[in-house]
A and B are shown apart, each in its own frame.
Chain A
């Protein structure tokens, strides 16, 4: 048997190109469906885990999927806004703890999550270094983001403008990093968490500027009408909230009307959850309340259906390289007929000669399986990052 294995090895090694093509064919045939299954399984796990951990989600009427993907996985598609007053509405029912979410802005590609400290409690996010955000302008970073960007407590992040061509739009705000979260294995690891008021500041709903009532600001005053002081264009606006200027920051308007992208509702019991859902069922209701898991399951059903089609299509496509491989081996046998006849004439055992051919085929299959296994392992190991990037 060792002799047959050796001869098979020598033959394969003598034809490296042919062997490589055959091995590559086997690898592809095996890797693509396996990788697809791994990625779908990981997506399912990732999506389901997060969705199951979020009991109820309230948002403006619109796409439920967009609302779930933005609120749970911080996707870039921003759903219709609802007003902060919905937080009070939920709180007033006494059925659930409302957690505001404003997921609109980014720092580079990383999402800035405007929320409350309850969010960190709700998701079980621990501080690994520094402390939680306490005042406007402070933020904490997810573990992976902090590592990737090399930012520690004491550093800062700057929000990105939504459009560089929109002069009246959102201006960058420099936020102080006061803490870094421990690794949690979810989308929170790649996000920046701050008080919802800070995100409103980024949007321009709050701002701070030099005190125009002081004598040294006389040159910036355009006119005074009673208590109202109107500044001219040279009034300096702050793009950073510091202990020195925080008192100058103020909101224009009623915070109850300020925007959110969603409210997470954490009911104290299943009954409370059901009752709360009932409050949002009026035909004229402008908001939707949904269980994220229902939306995710619906999405996964679609994904599984597509996966079924893809695997079936791959099965059909795989028939081509498999047939080609069979053809290559059968042609190879025809070409080697004389060689096999020589072995027979010399007195080679039927089993030993058959073992050479079988070993060659098995060698190719084994090499393909090993490489496919390694590639699938790689995809399994780093697939969650890929999935997260896709979801994001």
Chain B
């Protein structure tokens, strides 16, 4: 297994976590797991197995009931809500299945969104140029001022990927990023994610249902038992 080392990419250490929603029967338990810097991991599993919840726990969107999650040197599960948000916006990039773009903004404004909703980040000329450059790399250079409502599904997901990349995060978290795309766009978006992760050396943690793309990841983890798909410990 070739692991790409990255200066900005953090090591993720999961120390036997458990989680339960306040309402509902669902309970998630993840044994100890380590993700190396720059590694690309696919999390697979049936619906309701807790893949998305796992992603939220790693991102600090949700907190485990027990156990610890460390991202780099920081134990994210021990941070305050404000600190987790600040950490997330500066160190992580998130891509969602439904894109989650703001319809009333242009392509460029959507890409720059993290800079407009966090006082931790400063929006300056360099950031704008970087946003435009990333958009150009994914083939959106001529649509920067266009409303995202007028884009195709594939283009919208590419905008979402740009938004996740604009802060140059060390960790990319993607929740079924190709789930709503046709095969052509699916390949394109995955290609972009891998390209950008490789370029920045970022760790890529992706939840997916699509078994046809698993061979592109360094490691595949099955959420049914939180073991590597090859049978070894995750």
Contact = CB atoms under 8 A, between A and B. Distances in A.
To the question of whether A and B form a pair in one complex, the answer is yes
A346 B113 contact: yes
Nearest to A3: B116
B77 interface: no
B89 A347 contact: yes
Interface in B87-107: 87-90, 92, 94, 96, 100, 102-105
16 contacts: A7-B102, A7-B116, A7-B117, A342-B96, A345-B59, A345-B88, A346-B113, A346-B117, A347-B86, A347-B87, A347-B89, A347-B118, A348-B85, A348-B114, A349-B117, A349-B119
A5 B72 CA distance: 34
Interface in A4-31: 4, 6-7, 10-11, 13-15
A148 interface: no
A149 interface: no
Nearest to A342: B100
A230 interface: no
A350 interface: yes
Nearest to A15: B104
B118 A348 contact: yes
A346 B114 contact: yes
Contact of A349 (B82, B96, B104): B82
Interface of B: 56, 59, 61, 81-82, 84-90, 92, 94, 96, 100, 102-105, 109, 113-120, 123, 163
A352 B118 contact: yes
A47 interface: no
Interface in A270-321: none
A135 interface: no
A7 B119 CA distance: 14
A347 B104 contact: no
Given A1-B119, A14-B103, A342-B100, 18 more contacts: A3-B115, A10-B105, A339-B100, A343-B113, A344-B85, A345-B59, A345-B61, A346-B94, A347-B84, A347-B87, A347-B92, A349-B118, A349-B120, A350-B81, A350-B82, A350-B85, A351-B119, A352-B119
A353 interface: yes
A364 to B, nearest CB: 15
Contacts of A1: 119
B82 to A, nearest CB: 7
A356 B104 CA distance: 13
A338 interface: yes
Contacts of B163: 346
A353 B102 CA distance: 13
Contacts of B85: 344, 347-350
